[in-house]
Structure 1
């Protein structure tokens, strides 16, 4: 039976992960309403909101983690959830782009608490329970990625702001629940250290990872390409097939479920069978083909059929992580994971701006090729594949 404090943590992770996907199905309609622009230009404004959210998560995740070590898990988690509740109210009533931007900035800061939630689970877990409890946190976060777009798509049919009012009620109820059941678990507060709160600190570890430069470059290119899905999916499907919010949310939920199956099940036999190197070598070109197919897909039905197939391409990510982990020294594993996380965050900041601009250029005026961002992403995947082949041909580790 799940204890009530653990239930609060899991619900918090679901709500925070939902914040990423909740806005995706309704973003085109919301920005068209607020800015008075067409779909092509709305994608540009949407990319600014997406990048601002990612930037705040990148900047504030280490800071909030350190605050929880200083002041405790309970106040950090409760305050962040209360701020998320108020942010959803702000998004519900915002009638200017700048208020929407403020809302996304606040949401990005307040939702940067996964490290605090994980620390709480570590505090309350016996050594033999920690791995399983960390898995619960990850599973709840994954569930939020699936529920967010579905939630936003279904409620978006009742108006672009309806999902935010519902999410505000849910977050507010969770604050009350946390006030009643959440204990403080921090036993020995640590002094706050600005050096540990530096978001660029993990990138300093690059010097401690000799021989991994080419593989880290590969990771960056792959991440920029792969972020095309959340960056432009809602705009692409509406422009190409006229999908409404409900259909956009359903398709994103299908992608989320497919990702969970791939990362939780398929990976357990594909990578042991092929090994990391062949998984990278085979699935990078696989991604090229899938992205080209999405760029030119003639109807929405075929796109839905392609969605689970596109999720298979995500096998590249754990394969790169596994290979990098093999190459890095045993005492540099923490630095490696920090570098990978920082590179991923930078890609999440840059990719929406690039992909939305490509969509804008390909759809404004008389031009109409909404699949252009996916074609560009396929080119990046091809570049990543060539990088990998080149470093192998040179006999470089990676």
Structure 2
């Protein structure tokens, strides 16, 4: 691409006006030029003539407290709370609520406008009432046949009135309406027969009304629940979870509790499929190699193999925890000197390092060192790097260290400060 045109565009402002016509200026920025930018207000502009209409709408939609409402508020709230309410009402302008407020249009909005002044039986928690809320005596007795028939007729009439607020249709009805009316009468009579007010009677009218008031019910649940046999069998609490028999035997073997077992760091490092050739054909299973450690001087390696993936992994985890052995640590951060171990064709060399060196090793040895609680270590794998052999060789090297005091006792010598020997005179 030629640079002539960009150069002319760039220096077009500096050229003299004697040119016949300057070339159009090119923009070297992705955003729009400053003259083309228009500052848009956050809220739409409102004309002064419309303010009167907004004020009228605000006063109609959000009226101020009148004297009766203020008197009711004073009976419920303290003077300091009343002052806070008045300060909030004077701060919030009703006209700003109309201009800046928005009505919800999302699908999750409530299907009605509620000022939260009344308890809604669907969305709100059901109010509970006790015996103290019933004035007068609370004695009941079984109703006789005459009282029962009278109560059923009265309750059925109340139920029909709820079904037909405008009155029961009279006159000649078509077959559909007549069938609906007959079904409504049958439903009202059935509900009345099951109503406790038809079975019991009392001289206290408030006590009779409490029998049908759901707020006095002690058996009504707070939330709907599934109370069938299958739901009870499948529903388990966290404290009632089914215990693995292998885990139970492991806890008995170690003498631990579940809390201590959960603190063990477990990680599966090797997963691959294996095939066993039998007279039944090739049987494929999965092999797992897992490490476990408490990050404070204990490290274990376990293997598991099964046709089911979850079963094989559980075997390896339990085996790794059962095989945990202590790892000697110098100053709780590194090994006692340099280590070397050979498993198969794999050789692992571990080197102790001074404080702050970190774990500069490959990822498999890094996971082993972190599970054992080592912080300063370096390693080499000069020969084969088979994952299984690297893990096993590292584990054997860490757990079979020769401690300086054992070497000193074997040689008949006294134990001295070994940091000069291990760190080349770098003592921290």
Given the two structures, how large is their TM-score scaled by the length of structure 2? 0.17
Structure with bigger RCO (C-alpha 8 Å, 6+ apart): 1
Q: When you count helix as a share of all residues, which structure comes out higher?
A: 1
Q: When you count strand as a share of all residues, which structure comes out higher?
A: 2
Given the two structures, how large is their TM-score scaled by the length of structure 1? 0.18
